[in-house]
Amino acid sequence: MSAPDSDRGSRPPVPDPRDPPWPGGIKSDERNVGVEVEFAGLDTADVAYLIRSRLGGEVGSSDPHRWTVSDTSLGAFEVELDSRYAHPGEKSGPTDLAMREAFGRLASIVVPTEVIAPPMSYRKLPKLDELVRALVAAGAEGTTEWAPYAFGLHLNVETPADDILTISRIFRAFILVSPWLRKRMGIDRTRSLLPFVDPFPTSFVDWVVEAGDDVDLKRFIAAYCRANPSKHRDLDLLPLLGYLDKDAVSQALGHPPKAVRPTFHYRLPDARLGDPAWSITAEWNRWVMVEELAADPHRLALLSRAWRRWRSAWLSGEPDWDAMVDKVMR
């Protein structure tokens, strides 16, 4: 059920995006972020034309459930129903086209519409939040608005460097604070039961923390791919590792990586469009807290030592670990 109009109109201002400790990206002067956001309640065509009305551009479509909006003020957007069964292949005939169109109409009740935004400077994220608020005003619904909904938000955060030391420190910082982050996100129960954003295997966390800075790229790739052959992790590194050494990732997985790009694929488990306090920019700001920890060797080493002492509290998300992370993250 949609939120009442009064709730939709009483949203606080979108927060300002925080500057990361590494402001420049590997390919840009200002770190870029690509955003994917899922929701229900609106037809894909309606979403595409709403984007055009807010940001300009040209609308196009390759099938009834997949649209593009090119040349907007933020770049090129894609809008699609997030199911491969709703989209025809290159050799689809009239019968197949009709069946897939019908499937898409029926599946849209529970299968999310996904907006894939172009990579943009993190400073422009509030403009994307303004678009999301316009979608909500038009009827878009997030995870919290009906129990079966299980929608996510993905941030593809451009890496600031291509050296494994910087990347592994950011990754280690994320792993150490991930239970703390999940509690602060207030993850929807429906979403938490699904396998799309699984936490990392404990044995792999052991390896990452114990290895610390003593790791090279090929060794890290081998360990990561052995423990995490799937993209279904809350921080999927396969695209980034594939960008750094595609051959090593292909060898470790037994097949080429499905995506190769210089980004941390941060798979947030909730897209709470109906929550007035929720925003994409606020989630970016949480990510910046992770990078700030990674950029401070003293605090990162302190939390790594604490993890060795309170590993069981980390595993269970007990208050002792939360209190420790609170203290370090201040």
pLDDT score of 179: 84
pLDDT in tens, 236-285: 999 999 999 999 999 999 999 999 999 999 998 788 898 898 999 999 99
Cβ burial, residue 288 (10 Å; 0-12/13-18/19+)? middle
**Is the model more confident about 203 or about 147?**
203
pLDDT score of 110: 58
Our count of domains for the chain comes to 1
E strands, the chain, are 32-39, 58-63, 66-72, 75-81, 113-116, 120-121, 153-158, 235-236, 263-268
Query: Length of the chain, please?
Result: 330
Residue 305 lies in a domain: yes
pLDDT score of 12: 87
Please check the confidence at residue 85 and state whether its pLDDT lies above 50.
Answer: no
Q: Which domain holds residue 160?
A: 25-40+112-329
Please check the confidence at residue 317 and state whether its pLDDT lies above 80.
Answer: no
Quote the CA–CA distance of 292 and 286 in Å, as a whole number. Answer: 10
Please check the confidence at residue 306 and state whether its pLDDT lies above 80.
Answer: yes
pLDDT score of 100: 44
Q: Which range (46-60, 81-95, 281-295) has the least confidence?
A: 81-95
Please check the confidence at residue 96 and state whether its pLDDT lies above 70.
Answer: no
Residue 70 lies in a domain: no
Residue 238 lies in a domain: yes
Q: For residue 316, which amino acid is it? A: S
pLDDT score of 119: 97
Please check the confidence at residue 67 and state whether its pLDDT lies above 90.
Answer: yes
Phi, psi dihedral angles at 271 (to 5 degrees): -130, 90
Residue 181 lies in a domain: yes
Residue (of 114, 116, 117, 106) closest to 140 by Cα position: 114
Q: For residue 184, which amino acid is it? A: R
Quote the CA–CA distance of 11 and 7 in Å, as a whole number. Answer: 7
Residue (of 76, 68, 80) closest to 34 by Cα position: 76
Only one residue has tokens 């109906």, namely 274
Q: Which range (10-14, 87-91, 171-175, 209-213) has the least confidence?
A: 87-91
Residue (of 77, 24, 22, 26) closest to 240 by Cα position: 26
Residue 56 lies in a domain: no
Please check the confidence at residue 132 and state whether its pLDDT lies above 90.
Answer: yes
